[in-house]
Amino acid sequence: MDDVAVTGRFAPSPTGVLHLGNLRTALVSWCVSHGVGGRWLVRMEDLDPVTASREHAARQLDHLARLGLVSDEPVVRQSDRFDLHRDAIARLRRDGLVYPCYCTRREIRDAAAAPHGDGLPDGAYPGTCRELTRAERIERERAGRVPALRLRTEGERHRFDDLVLGTVEGVVDDLVLQRSDGVPAYNLAVVVDDHLQGVDQVVRGDDLASSTPRHLHLQRLLGMPHPTYAHVPLVLGPDGNRLAKRHGAVTLDDLSARGWTDAEVVRLLGRSLGVDDAPGSAEALAARFSLARLPRTAWRLDPGRDLTR
């Protein structure tokens, strides 16, 4: 048997039903790891107890399985791993890289909107709580404010060679590591979990490409190797916005109700990924799939026109 070449993963947030765009990204991730005899894992990013649910997670896993996409190891849930995330925050804290932030969303929005002329990306945290004195912190806590935890950064730039997008570069800001309700933040948790699960190949939607410099930065600070990245262009509805329920039949159940078999859906997705005469099984698709042929632009889909039969 070949050595296990890569470990890829799909990491959905169980906050709703997977739509064709999510399933398509999952399929790409599965094909690039299984296509070279690698492992493929599913991780449920259920950090937010308000929006995530076990029911959504179960339904997402069921839909993935219907397309032949089954995790090679037991599915991991981020909500079971807060201790691991907090260990990483503690390490950063020991290095003097963590500070409490008492800002409300609104304060951040207002401050970030004001011109600051220091080269930070739009919407970046303007650093309000970076240099608070002890007295100022105490004052805020007395007023009942519970802090989030932020990473102290110095405008570091990070660049990576994305397997789909080419060279991507970005500046890092003082990102949140832990929310004020104590829940670890996505950017921290994703880095910790990918590392601990041995993931060395990250395939995900290209809406997350701009977050990747943050992940590279955290990996460097935590002494973790960088995975390779492939950011897959999203699926857009006829109005040019991200594919969503309001665009019509966009989930596997919607398509089944219209008479599509799961194999036909795999074929449809395979064609959209640049595979001619795409086969109706993930296994067969993996053998023919190549990232080099993946379209570099979003897949425009009009469910009313393209998905009727």
Residues near ligand GLU, by CB under 6 A: 11-13, 45, 190, 204, 208
Indicate which residue of 245, 256, 281, 306 is catalytic: 245
CB of 45 to ligand GLU, least distance (A): 4
CB of 30 to ligand GLU, least distance (A): 13
Between 22 and 153, name the residue whose CB sits nearer to ligand GLU.
22
Could you tell me the smallest distance in angstroms from the CB atom of residue 96 to ligand GLU?
27
Is residue 245 annotated as a catalytic residue, yes or no?
yes
Minimum distance of ligand GLU from residue 15's CB (angstroms):
8
Q: What is the residue type of 245?
A: K
Contacts of range 146-149, beta carbons closer than 8 Å, 24 or more positions apart: 146/180, 146/181, 147/100, 147/101, 147/102, 147/180, 148/100, 148/101, 148/103, 148/176, 148/177, 148/178, 148/179, 148/180, 148/185, 149/89, 149/93, 149/98, 149/99, 149/100, 149/101, 149/176, 149/177, 149/178
Q: Which is nearer to ligand GLU, 129 or 218 (CB)?
A: 218
Name the residue nearer to ligand GLU (CB basis): 97 or 208. Answer: 208
* Beta bridge mates, 101: 148
Question: For residues 165 and 209, is the Cβ–Cβ distance under 8 A?
Answer: yes
User: Which residue's CB is nearer to ligand GLU, number 151 or number 190?
Assistant: 190
Q: What residues are labeled active site?
A: 245
